[in-house]
Structure 1
Amino acid sequence: MKSTTLVCAVSAALCAAAFPLKAEELLAKQLAGPPEEFSAMQRPAIAEAPIMSKSAVVPMELSAKGSSWSTRLPAENGQLKFAVVNPGAAPLELSLQGPNGQQISASQMSARSKRSGIFEGGVNLPAEMYELNVAGDGEWQLNARGSSKTAGRALLILEGDPDDMLASWQANDSQKVKQPVLIAASLLSDADAGLVGPMAQRLGRLQQAKLSITAPNGDRSEVPMFDDGQHADGLAGDGVFGGRFLPKQAGNHLVQVVAHGRAAAGHAVLRTAEHVVPVLDSDLQLGAAGLSVSKSGEQRVQISLPVATAKNAGHFRTYAEVWGHNAAGEPVAVAWIGGMSALSKGQLTLNLDQRWLDRSGAGAPFELRNLRIEDPDHFVVLAKADSLALPLQRAASKAAGDIQIDDEMRQGPRPVAFDSAKGTGSRLLLVHGYCSGGVWPTSHFSNASTFLDANKSRSHDQFAQLIKSFGNTWNSYGVVAHSQGGAAALHLYTYYWSGLDNAGSGRLIQSVGTPYQGTNLAGILATLGSWFGVGCGTNDNLTYSGASSWLSGIPTSSRAKVNYYTTSFKSTNWWTNDYCNFATDLVLSDPEDGTTEKAKGQLSGAVNRGHTNGQCHTTGMRDPAQYKDSSRNATMNSNAAR
């Protein structure tokens, strides 16, 4: 079949569709699921998705020609391995002085460097890599001298021993203007154990730490971190440090933990962790009136949730658990309900299919538990309640257990507006990722159309709305996606009615290199963008914590629609270091594709189609780009739903 390709350059009108929608335009699904999914739909616990860092990112600023800059770098395991990202026209003159007076001159440093760069997420910056074997451990002084005529900035990325990991996490869930944000950190002995905080066994101990904060307007500040038991740091003297800052404006704040400590072996360690913290200016709160319930169909009820706000509009992500009681008065779990809900006349709505009540056998009194309302772009909790009385009057059903869960119970009825506004024909949509362009070779696909929102940073929700608007041309479609495009397609299928719901048999969503659990590179790219004024902007959905918050609203039934692939660099031999990009390799855990770590590219509940060595995330890296694999593309094309 001959390939047909259509490129959509997103216009201003289309971009507008990604932002606050009216209730009649939302076409949101009325999500629900059984009690067995309660745990999977819960918000991640504090410290559940920490940044695990083996590296340090150090800003370098030289004021003018001939000016100098220096810092101390700890050698670990007899090795110094670092990259200097330098967009300046002239190179820096670097030299090293060891703890015992050893000297490595600028000319010797130049002879030991490898040149490449960071080419990802709209960042295109040259870099030089240095890997030096030194005698023993100790702190070396790195000296840099500027040779350009004007002031310049560079960035140092230092890799340490991956057995000495810095774990850093946000220690509270407050992310509103003028409410404190708490960040904690500690050194861990086993990065794979997933243990953080006072209960973790440590290789060494932090000795001092601070928070370096860049506000959305570019203002920079620093605050100390403490191990005194009063800064969300556990017990005083337990090796966990905590710090807090008070955001004064809305937007993404870049918060870097800068930590110095000692490994168990006694040598110094320097680590940083780069957090992207979205802060919202919201006054949304639950209204004083109670919940109200009305019939919305033959077997459905609509639950109206009063909210009060003078600042917020648009739509919100909601979640709640429905509980009732049995004849003995014992609590019975019924179902979870939620999805996207448009704010209308001071109310948000949740919907419940009464078959969930029949299936559970529960009767009155009913209540909503663990209610939360989140913004749709950052998944920050704006309001919550542990329990609210739900005025449903229903006796326990004798049909308990006889109800088979179907799509309408999980997604709600198809809206009339959706069925009456279908496009024509079917397509396979080829979707790119964050801050990217049309990457898929169109000749590898048939009956395919290329979505293009070139070089932009979008939240998953905004991205999904744009895919939906583009896809409205056709009645049905499947998706082949790269990187963030896979998460955006899953978000679209989960929350909104679209041509994905009309697709025929086959694989509905296929993705390659999608960081479903986030990537440490999100914070690094934010640091690069902030320091050098490059890139497409920060994207907190792609951080570890942001991805974890997003996934807490994605049910298993939606995840099952995804088929995904991961790749990583080609391993050449056991005695050399392999990488896709040497600069990003310093901050990512192997195996990785230069952007996405294999471990963080996994999506629980989806179909893992395998891992390929010798392919990198994008062009400009050491191995071929993963989206150019003609064999895999042919497989995805032939198996795709349309």
Structure 2
Amino acid sequence: MRKRTGTVVRTMLCASMLIAMGTGAATGAGRAPLQPKQLAGPATEFEAMRAPDPAHAAILSRSALLPVVFDASGQATLRVPVHHGRLDAMLLSGGADWSPRLVSPAGVELAQATLARGARASRLGGEHDGQAGTVVRLDGLVRGDWTLHLQARSGEGARGYLLLKGDDRLELASHQVHRRQLVGERMDIVAMLAADDGTRVALGRDAGHVRSAQLRIVAPDGTATLRPMHDDGRHGDGGAGDGRLAGGFVPDATGTWIAQVIVHGHDRLGTPFVRTAEHALPVIEAGPRLAAGTASAAYSSPGRLSVRLPLANAGKGAHYRVLAEVWGRDGKGGEVPVAWIGGMAEAGDGGLSLGLDERWIARAGALAPFELRALRIEDPDHFIPLATATRLPLSTPRLRLPRTAPARQAAIDELMTMGPRPAAADARAAATGRKLVLVHGYCSGGVWPQAQFANSATFLDANQNRSHDQFAQRIKSFGAQWNSFGTVAHSQGGAASLHLYAYYWSGLDNASGSRLMQSVGTPYQGTNLSGIIATVGNWFGVACGSNSNMTYSGASAWLAGIPTSARSKVNYYTTAFRTTNWYTNDYCNAASDLVLGDPEDGTVERAYAQLPGATNRGHTAGQCHTAGMRDPAQYRDSSRNATMSSNAAR
């Protein structure tokens, strides 16, 4: 069984690199009014709502995805490191026959019969978003660099990938320096080795020797270029020769760019290795910027302030995710944290407006002058910062706040944390009834057996790729048929349901029952498959395309804006493959097993399916993410489905 050391490695990375550097279907017809909530929370949540450190979302890779490019004669040769006498690999050929030949370090070719016995057809990714290929598992090989010879037939695919699983004890840790993913702005990637021998974790040059390191950049049109990664102390890589690597590029077009770190070298025992890390990076045009001046607050209703942010270049009607901290002063001029405010906000008349309940100011005992801190305005689909301010003065009207002890100790209510509910007419009061909505996941369809859920309806947006925000709005529109609804969701559907409840008013806010949102197999903290599939799909094409919300960095950025109060409404389950014995490496899917760390369900690692602040309802072994994997699909557990149905809010 593989040991996941992600928490330890990420903690060390942060320190080290900072020092160095119904029965109906969802139709989607016409966008319904957004009806965003005016979010706010206590100062104790400041840290959770701030932009995350990219090192906390580092990719920890024990695998290598190597591009295969054939020469004019249709031949390709790759060096394949073998550790502990075992080779686990996958040829992603786009369906072409590459006639593989494997030659030992001593020049002896492996018998074709042996190679054939270790090969099986598999698929990397899901039914609609994956890529077919051949998985090869061989034991009893000599340790060292083997050579893989491939021959493409005339008229067949001239490129593809080789996916290799490496030694579990050596990882490549890689992350972005920042998330300003805008056209024309430089993007940098840093990486280093991390070794775990069971007693300690070593980083950089203490983990192994890097012989070569490159940054392979694949543009949205599929054009690939190679750039060097540096360890010379002059490129934001820390000290010269310390094993920290850095490289970057400047994107010149919108779309998903792939930044793939490729590292060759030797581990501490002298065994050759190759590792890669795949960063799928959506790049967008520059958006609004903060105009000169200050933010201003004015009363919008008794006890409610509208905080206006002056913007330039904001598209009218466009909406953005906005988060900021409110600070004031005490009677002696000392700084006083008041509350964070934010949510989704629509642009109009040269600015954005956020809501602030004056009771937050009363609870903090704060006085003018006020200011906003850690302000960030992000696009709603990828959560890429478009405009930021470390500190921005906030002018306020003359406040008439009670300064008594009861005012400072008053309970926090819905109006303070989510703002006023929409008027009855705006909330589609004509809708009646209660329902449990069954939600599928990314690039999927109606997976839930509806007959196992009482008073339920199936949301269907089959085989589509939506951001969490787009997905959430479709759930909202579908659920508007009823006055109230709860959700049971699979995979990305769980994140989309949480996104809906966190940012927009909907029937979720009218539901009653013990469990408002329930999910199974949701990658709340992302999955490494997202970057791998995006890289493969850039060449071969996939039906659904890449989804940045489910990469490690994208999920981390999304979570940094989800309030604790919203997370507490989620009940979630995780599953993994069935373990048959102690000495074999079990799996749900032979292809994804090359990439994911145990335990995992074929798509999501258990460690990254956790949602801090929510209720974990348990883990089940012997169930996989979807149908077609080795164990039964996690959404077909009739016992768990009955439990979710009986406890669901509606």
Give the TM-score band, short-chain normalised.
Answer: over 0.9
- After TM superposition, the structure 1 = structure 2 runs for residues 506-517 of structure 1, keeping only pairs within 5 Å, are 506-517=514-525
- Pairing partner for 2:580 from 553, 572, 595: 572
What code does the residue aligned with 2:182 have? Answer: K
* Inter-partner Cα distance in structure 2 for 1:407 and 1:154: 53
Whether the 8 Å CA contact 2:40–2:417 is kept in 1: the answer is yes
Secondary structure of 1:469's counterpart equals helix
- After TM superposition, the structure 1 = structure 2 runs for residues 523-602 of structure 1, keeping only pairs within 5 Å, are 523-602=531-610
1:243 aligns with 2:230: no
- After TM superposition, the structure 1 = structure 2 runs for residues 4-23 of structure 1, keeping only pairs within 5 Å, are 5-10=22-27, 13=29, 16-17=30-31
Q: Once structures 1 and 2 are overlaid, which stretch shifts more, 152-161 or 556-565?
A: 152-161
* Inter-partner Cα distance in structure 2 for 1:457 and 1:554: 21
Secondary structure of 2:381's counterpart equals coil
Deviations 1:102-123 (A, max 9, x none): 3203333112223332351623
Secondary structure of 1:515's counterpart equals coil
Q: Once structures 1 and 2 are overlaid, which stretch shifts more, 631-640 or 408-417?
A: 408-417
- After TM superposition, the structure 1 = structure 2 runs for residues 288-367 of structure 1, keeping only pairs within 5 Å, are 288-309=292-313, 314-367=318-371
Shift of 1:63: 6.4
What code does the residue aligned with 1:91 have? Answer: D
* Inter-partner Cα distance in structure 1 for 2:141 and 2:264: 22
- After TM superposition, the structure 1 = structure 2 runs for residues 28-47 of structure 1, keeping only pairs within 5 Å, are 28-47=36-55
Deviations 1:403-439 (A, max 9, x none): 1111111000101154454511111111000011111
Q: Which residue of structure 2 lines up, in the alignment, with residue 128 of structure 1?
A: 134
Shift of 1:377: 0.5
Shift of 1:48: 1.4
* Inter-partner Cα distance in structure 2 for 1:278 and 1:191: 36
Distance 1:310 1:406, change over 3 A: closer
* Inter-partner Cα distance in structure 2 for 1:93 and 1:26: 55
* Inter-partner Cα distance in structure 2 for 1:292 and 1:149: 65
* Inter-partner Cα distance in structure 1 for 2:489 and 2:197: 30
Distance 1:637 1:553, change over 3 A: same
* Inter-partner Cα distance in structure 2 for 1:45 and 1:190: 23
- After TM superposition, the structure 1 = structure 2 runs for residues 244-259 of structure 1, keeping only pairs within 5 Å, are 244-259=248-263
- Pairing partner for 2:63 from 50, 55, 70: 55
Distance 1:300 1:613, change over 3 A: same
- After TM superposition, the structure 1 = structure 2 runs for residues 226-625 of structure 1, keeping only pairs within 5 Å, are 226-309=230-313, 314-392=318-396, 393-394=398-399, 397-399=403-405, 401-416=408-423, 417-625=425-633
Deviations 1:350-380 (A, max 9, x none): 1110110111111111111111111110000
1:180 aligns with 2:186: yes
Distance 1:453 1:579, change over 3 A: same
* Inter-partner Cα distance in structure 2 for 1:148 and 1:626: 43
Shift of 1:44: 0.9
Secondary structure of 1:319's counterpart equals strand
Shift of 1:237: 1.4
- Return 5+ residue gaps in structure 2 as ranges: 1-21
Whether the 8 Å CA contact 1:513–1:617 is kept in 2: the answer is yes
What code does the residue aligned with 2:27 have? Answer: V
- Pairing partner for 1:161 from 161, 167, 183: 167
Shift of 1:386: 1.0
Secondary structure of 1:93's counterpart equals coil
Shift of 1:312: 7.6
* Inter-partner Cα distance in structure 1 for 2:339 and 2:560: 16
What code does the residue aligned with 2:74 have? Answer: S
1:138 aligns with 2:155: no
Q: Once structures 1 and 2 are overlaid, which stretch shifts more, 368-377 or 490-499?
A: 368-377
* Inter-partner Cα distance in structure 2 for 1:39 and 1:201: 32
Distance 1:99 1:312, change over 3 A: farther
* Inter-partner Cα distance in structure 2 for 1:192 and 1:412: 50
Secondary structure of 2:25's counterpart equals strand
- Return 5+ residue gaps in structure 1 as ranges: none
Whether the 8 Å CA contact 1:121–1:536 is kept in 2: the answer is no
1:81 aligns with 2:81: no
Deviations 1:524-556 (A, max 9, x none): 111221121123011000000000000000011
Shift of 1:441: 0.8
What code does the residue aligned with 1:75 have? Answer: V
* Inter-partner Cα distance in structure 2 for 1:422 and 1:289: 44
* Inter-partner Cα distance in structure 2 for 1:623 and 1:334: 51
Shift of 1:91: 3.1
Secondary structure of 2:536's counterpart equals helix
Q: Percent identity?
A: 51
Whether the 8 Å CA contact 2:129–2:545 is kept in 1: the answer is no
Whether the 8 Å CA contact 2:195–2:201 is kept in 1: the answer is no
Secondary structure of 2:451's counterpart equals helix
Whether the 8 Å CA contact 1:283–1:312 is kept in 2: the answer is no
Q: Which residue of structure 1 lines up, in the alignment, with residue 110 of structure 2?
A: 104
What code does the residue aligned with 1:568 have? Answer: A
* Inter-partner Cα distance in structure 2 for 1:554 and 1:195: 32
Shift of 1:396: 8.3
* Inter-partner Cα distance in structure 2 for 1:195 and 1:323: 40
Distance 1:423 1:396, change over 3 A: closer
Distance 1:500 1:123, change over 3 A: same
What code does the residue aligned with 2:602 have? Answer: G
Whether the 8 Å CA contact 2:129–2:443 is kept in 1: the answer is no
Shift of 1:193: 12
* Inter-partner Cα distance in structure 1 for 2:293 and 2:630: 60
* Inter-partner Cα distance in structure 2 for 1:70 and 1:299: 71
Q: Once structures 1 and 2 are overlaid, which stretch shifts more, 322-331 or 160-169?
A: 322-331
Secondary structure of 1:470's counterpart equals helix
Deviations 1:200-256 (A, max 9, x none): 684213232112122223322221111122333222211111111000011221221
* Inter-partner Cα distance in structure 2 for 1:591 and 1:521: 15
Q: Once structures 1 and 2 are overlaid, which stretch shifts more, 455-464 or 228-237?
A: 228-237
Deviations 1:36-63 (A, max 9, x none): 1111111111311100100001222446
Whether the 8 Å CA contact 1:559–1:603 is kept in 2: the answer is yes
Distance 1:339 1:124, change over 3 A: closer
Q: Which residue of structure 2 lines up, in the alignment, with residue 92 of structure 1?
A: 98
What code does the residue aligned with 1:512 have? Answer: V
Whether the 8 Å CA contact 1:94–1:105 is kept in 2: the answer is no
Q: Once structures 1 and 2 are overlaid, which stretch shifts more, 348-357 or 76-85?
A: 76-85
Whether the 8 Å CA contact 2:181–2:284 is kept in 1: the answer is yes
Secondary structure of 1:123's counterpart equals coil
Instruction: Figure out how many residues of one structure are paired with residues of the other and give that number.
Output: 625
Shift of 1:68: 2.0
Secondary structure of 1:327's counterpart equals coil
Secondary structure of 2:122's counterpart equals strand
Tell me the TM-score normalized by structure 2: 0.92
Distance 1:173 1:152, change over 3 A: closer
Shift of 1:307: 0.5
What code does the residue aligned with 2:223 have? Answer: D
Distance 1:99 1:220, change over 3 A: same
Secondary structure of 2:57's counterpart equals coil
What code does the residue aligned with 1:284 have? Answer: P
